[in-house]
Structure 1
């Protein structure tokens, strides 16, 4: 059985994965790019970046992935459903290179992009979406790409096998939190923490095998 994975999801010290309000000009709201500075210095992001701890974790994002599931707020800013020309944030060649499933209550026809990415728009529960994505992944793993609400929904449904969060030493105070409704999450996962020279802490949650 393929695994369901979350990678490189950056959160603040108070648990927010994005600020507010999200807009076309500010995809992460008042957080700006402060949650992702650690990644911008890696070879994963730029060939001239570092090859340290941050890069080693970041590189796992793309290994063995056959499909992605994301929420509608990752695909576009508020109002994108009303723009028939909106094709995502990433230009003509998005970085996914797999079938990518956007969960939305307003589906539209599939959108085929360059580089092997095709966006499919589903109105489905987490379990239903995962079943579709697993079939498309052809035995490879499925990545839950975010944002925080989608990750939280999949974790709450017991569908996430491995989750990599990056705790960034900033306090946002408002936005969308990852932890709400996930009390006692630690009971079902083995958790490891690795501190990096950049100041971030990499938290890895691996679901415990059930007897």
Structure 2
């Protein structure tokens, strides 16, 4: 059965999934890049995201590998797609990832402003959904067929799906750094009342990997 998943989503020790003040030069906000030290050195990240050989194996890489398995579609928030706000000024911005994004499946981007789909290299097509989270999920599940749908972020998008108890399982990588401000994942969310519990955890030098599922 198809699941709605969050995978390899990194949080700071104080619960922030991105730093403040996202810009073109700081796509993860101020200090946000430091969250992802656990992933950027892995073989999976180097091969799938930056197209280079090498990288580490081990626990961190195994979680990175699992994050891409059996994914038939993605859902992203507008801020995950790019720094452009409001109406699309033109068609020039096509994401952070260049001509061949690492998704290779349909990606549904939540937005309030209509835009035509963007066909990219490698099988990625960005679709822009103005009908809200339920519409995006319905379209993503149809595109994924029997495979899972992965919510890539950002924080606000994951929070919307958690509030509706729509996420089936979630892998968080808790990085040993403090951000102090930014976008907080759990503020105002009563996770046990929403039906979630921690199912497993394992620590490495760069992150504590926490699995959250339904209670």
Q: TM-score, normalised by structure 2?
A: 0.91
Q: Deviations over 1:91-132 (max 9, x none)?
A: 001110011000000020111001000000001222221111
Instruction: Give the conservation status (yes or no) of the 8 Å contact 2:42–2:61.
Output: yes
Deviation, 1:83, is 3.6
Match of 1:194 among 177, 202, 207: 202
* Structure 2: segments with no counterpart, 5+ residues: 47-52
Structure 2 counterpart of 1:60? 66
1:207 aligns with 2:207: no
* Superposition map of 1:155-170 within 5 A: 155-170=162-177
Q: Secondary structure at the match of 2:173?
A: strand
C-alpha separation in 1, matches of 2:60 and 2:128: 32
Q: 1:186 to 1:15 in 2, by over 3 A?
A: farther
Q: 1:63 to 1:186 in 2, by over 3 A?
A: farther
C-alpha separation in 2, matches of 1:126 and 1:187: 17
* Structure 1: segments with no counterpart, 5+ residues: none
Q: Secondary structure at the match of 1:45?
A: helix
Q: Secondary structure at the match of 1:199?
A: coil
Q: Deviations over 1:139-168 (max 9, x none)?
A: 100000100110111111111001001101
Q: 1:205 to 1:32 in 2, by over 3 A?
A: closer
* Total equivalences in the alignment: 207
Instruction: Give the conservation status (yes or no) of the 8 Å contact 2:162–2:194.
Output: no
1:176 aligns with 2:186: no
* Regions of 4+ moved over 4 Å: none
Q: Secondary structure at the match of 2:38?
A: helix
Instruction: Give the conservation status (yes or no) of the 8 Å contact 1:127–1:159.
Output: no
Q: TM-score, normalised by structure 1?
A: 0.93
